Amino acid sequence: EYLESFVQPWHEMPRNQKPPTSIEQEFWASPQDGRVGSLRVEVLGCIGLSKNKVDTAVYLVCGDAAFATDVINGSRSPMWPACSKRCAVFPLFHAYVRLYVGAFDVSVLRAGENDDFRGRVVVDIPSIR
């Protein structure tokens, strides 16, 4: 019940109805593709990134999959609203995977420049309980 409301909170699904195939493919491990599970991540916010107000985006990398949040403009402690792009589901193909999270200032850049680094964290997935 929680899973259906997480995926589609605006859609009420009767209890006896089976989730659509696309939802099953996203969340449950399949013997055909070798997945052992999936990791669901939601970025809620960052606290005290720098002394300047920056345009912040968070990049997430887990295995060979990557995700980028929407950009939050002009805040030292950005919070991503519920209607923004802030959630991702990563497929897990083995038990010893890590999630890499980086916060970057993505202000308008000149040609050849990279995003400015603001912070990072590495989450060892087996250590989460």
Specify the CATH number for the domain of residue 53.
Answer: 2.60.40.150
Residue 121 pLDDT level (bands cut at 50, 70, 90):
very high
Q: Could you tell me the pLDDT band of residue 115, with boundaries at 50, 70 and 90?
A: confident
State whether 65 and 99 are in the same domain. Answer: yes
Number of compact structural domains in the chain: 2
Identify the residue with better confidence: 116 or 61: 61
Whole-number pLDDT of residue 30: 57
52 with 19, same domain: the answer is: no
Question: Does residue 10 surpass a pLDDT of 50?
Answer: no
> Which domain does 62 fall in, by range?
39-127
| Residues 71/115, Cβ–Cβ less than 8 Å | no
Residue-wise pLDDT for 42-91, tens only, equals 999 988 777 777 888 999 999 889 999 999 988 888 899 888 899 999 98
Strands 72-75 and 54-62, sheet pairing = antiparallel
Are the C-beta atoms of 42 and 70 separated by less than 8 Å?
no
